[in-house]
């Protein structure tokens, strides 16, 4: 684990699996005709995109009065850790803060693409479109209603605001299995193999939670 420092009282660390993720992106996007620099540009894109996403979670946690958090960037993206006892509506806001920040970063990248600097600087001509595309994908991917993605947590917390814990869990877990399976199949058919694999794995974990609920009668996490 590499400690980068803190923003306010929120610590930021990088797990070594994050470097594997970056390396994978660099290798997959390397084009000998364009040069290594066009592959290496994914390093700042991934770092900034994931960090801003997680900082948004941490910021919402702080705004709601639950103090500082710990951000860890890893091979699955990132996670924001905070020990809190929040109301369902508060956890809902915390969950959607990350995708909202990704959408804002996507919009900002689109605006910067239209500036004079964005149209004349060769590096920025590549950086901004990729930043836009990466954050659009990252926001939409995280909104898939399958835990542990933000969309899965947000769906369950939204249902908990007006339903019992068990009812909210049952509805949320079935949404996760049905919608998640559909998204995984669609991603596979269009050639998005890595997203398809991850979503399919999350659907399997959701199925295990459902099995646990059937055997023990209590929602599993």
- Among residues 90, 120, 143, which one ends one of the domains? 143
The tally of domains found in the chain comes to 2
Q: CA-to-CA distance for 175 and 183, rounded, in angstroms?
A: 12
Render pLDDT for 129-174 as a digit per residue (tens, 0 to 9).
Answer: 999 999 999 999 999 999 999 999 999 999 999 999 999 999 999 9
Render pLDDT for 7-30 as a digit per residue (tens, 0 to 9).
Answer: 888 999 999 999 988 888 888 877
Check whether 40 has a pLDDT greater than 80: yes
Strand partners, 2: 14
**What's the mean per-residue pLDDT of the chain?**
90
Give 124's pLDDT tier (boundaries 50, 70, 90): confident
Q: CA-to-CA distance for 66 and 75, rounded, in angstroms?
A: 27
Are both 153 and 164 inside the same structural domain?
yes
Q: Give residue 173's domain range.
A: 144-221
Tell me, what's the pLDDT at 35? 72
Are both 110 and 210 inside the same structural domain?
no
Check whether 175 has a pLDDT greater than 80: yes
Nearest to 82 by CA among 53, 104, 54, 102: 54
- Among residues 143, 168, 184, which one ends one of the domains? 143
Give 71's pLDDT tier (boundaries 50, 70, 90): very high
- Percent of residues, the chain, with pLDDT higher than 70: 98
């Amino acid at each position: 684990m590499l400690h980068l420092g803190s923003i306010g009282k929120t610590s930021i660390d990088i797990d070594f699996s994050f470097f594997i993720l970056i390396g994978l992106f660099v290798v997959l996007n390397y084009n000998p005709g364009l040069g290594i620099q066009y592959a290496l540009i994914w390093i700042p894109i991934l770092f900034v995109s994931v960090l801003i996403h997680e900082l948004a979670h941490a910021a919402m946690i702080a705004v709601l009065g639950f103090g500082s958090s710990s951000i860890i960037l890893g091979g699955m993206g990132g996670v924001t850790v905070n020990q809190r006892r929040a109301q369902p509506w508060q956890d809902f806001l915390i969950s959607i803060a990350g995708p909202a920040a990704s959408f804002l970063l996507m919009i900002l990248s689109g605006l910067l693409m239209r500036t004079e600097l964005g149209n004349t600087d060769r590096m920025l001509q590549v950086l901004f479109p990729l930043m836009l595309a990466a954050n659009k994908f990252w926001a939409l991917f995280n909104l898939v209603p399958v835990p542990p993605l933000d969309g899965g947590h947000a769906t369950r917390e939204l249902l908990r605001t007006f339903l019992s814990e068990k009812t909210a869990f049952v509805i949320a877990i079935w949404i996760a299995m049905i919608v998640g399976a559909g998204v995984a199949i669609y991603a596979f058919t269009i050639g998005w193999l890595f997203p398809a694999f991850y979503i399919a794995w999350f659907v399997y974990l959701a199925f295990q939670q459902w099995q646990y609920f059937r055997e023990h009668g209590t929602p599993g996490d």
